[in-house]
Amino acid sequence: MAMINETPKIKVHKEDSTSLQNGEGGEVPIFIGATGKESPSTEIYEFKNYKEASSETKGIGLPANNYMLPVLQDFFDETLKLVSDDIGVPHIYVKDLGNATASTAAPWINAKKDSRRKLEVQVEAYIFKSTDTLDKIVDVLVTIAESLKEDTLKGRPRIAYATVQGWTDAQMKTLTQGTEEITKKIRDIDIGLIEWNKFGKHLARICLTPYYDEPGYYQFRSVKEGEFS
């Protein structure tokens, strides 16, 4: 008579029905950029969901004319757990630069250095305004890249990504196709460039991917078929 020597492998999933169940295991990002508000924030915000981020009093303002909130909404939509054992992101950080432009790197690099106090941050996301010029954006990214090298040498490596409000993939490519000087600068830095459309979802997919896998191996949780066509 045949004997069963191994317990059947049965895997049970429990659906999560609340966006407050953020989960653990994902990389914690910080978003740095202009929101369009008159004054920059003096603090680094911590948010667990979009409702907190879009609060007029405790968040970074209302959605109207806010450069950053669409990115944060996409990020939280994608990190929302669908089943109980999904990897999640417990919270995010945001540094609101107000109405800052890329004309000088000072606000950006100061915000980056300030974020070093948040030791769990592993991913940096930079959001530039559509009115920022190509050469100035590149200059800011070069300064950030130098700071990233310092972080690595001191044993706290991070990875960074950047986007420009409203820019398509073709427009993002122009960052690598400017003058010879600009081209050399941008190709010498280790910062990923991602188009504006669904930037938050792309970043979420990166944060949710285990270090031993590639983001492209996993399906998006919140992107429908044909959405990128």
What tokens appear for 100 in the block? 């800052």
- Percentage of the residues of the chain whose pLDDT score is greater than 70: 88
17 inside domain: no
Tell me: pLDDT of 105 over 60: yes
pLDDT digits (tens, 9 = 90+) for 158-168: 999 999 999 98
Residue 124 lies in a domain: yes
Rounded average pLDDT over 90-116: 95
Burial track 175-192 (b if 16+ CB lie within 10 A, e otherwise): beeeeeebeebbeebebe
More confident residue, 211 or 101: 101
**Would you say 207 and 26 are in contact if contact means Cβ atoms under 8 Å apart?**
yes
> What is the percent of the chain where pLDDT is above 90?
59
In the prediction, which pLDDT does 1 show? 52
Q: What is the pLDDT of residue 17?
A: 46
Count structural domains, the chain.
Answer: 1
**How many of the other CB atoms lie within 10 Å of CB of 99?**
14
Identify the sign of the CA torsion 88, 93, 98, 103: negative
Alpha-carbon gap, residue 60 to 36, rounded angstroms:
10
State the chain's mean pLDDT as an integer.
86
Q: Where are the alpha helices (DSSP H) in the chain?
A: 50-53, 69-79, 106-114, 134-153, 169-173, 180-187, 199-208
Asked if residue 175 lies in contact with residue 132, where contact means CB atoms within 8 angstroms, the answer is no
189 token code pair: 């830095």
Residue 22 lies in a domain: no
- Collapsing DSSP states into helix, strand and coil, what is residue 121? strand
What does pTM read for this prediction?
Answer: 0.86
Q: Domain range spanning residue 154?
A: 28-211
pLDDT over 80 at 4, yes or no: no
Residue 131: exposure state from Cβ atoms within 10 A (0-12, 13-18, ≥19) = exposed
Is there a domain that residue 56 lies in? yes
CB neighbours of residue 167 within 10 Å: 21
State how far the Cα of 178 lies from the Cα of 14, in Å rounded to an integer. Answer: 51
In this structure, is residue 222 part of a structural domain? no
Domain of residue 183, CATH code: 3.40.50.261
> Which pLDDT tens digit goes with each residue over 173-216?
877 776 677 777 777 788 999 999 999 999 999 999 988 888 88
**Separation between Cα atoms, residue 169 and residue 193, nearest integer Å:** 9
Residue 88: inside a domain: yes
Spatial CA neighbour of 61 closest among 29, 32, 37: 37
Q: Does residue 19 lie within any of the structural domains?
A: no
pLDDT at residue 19 tops 50: no
> Which segments of the chain are extended strands (E)?
28-33, 45-47, 92-96, 121-128, 159-164, 191-193
Q: Is residue 141 part of a domain?
A: yes
Q: Are 72 and 11 in contact (CB under 8 A)?
A: no
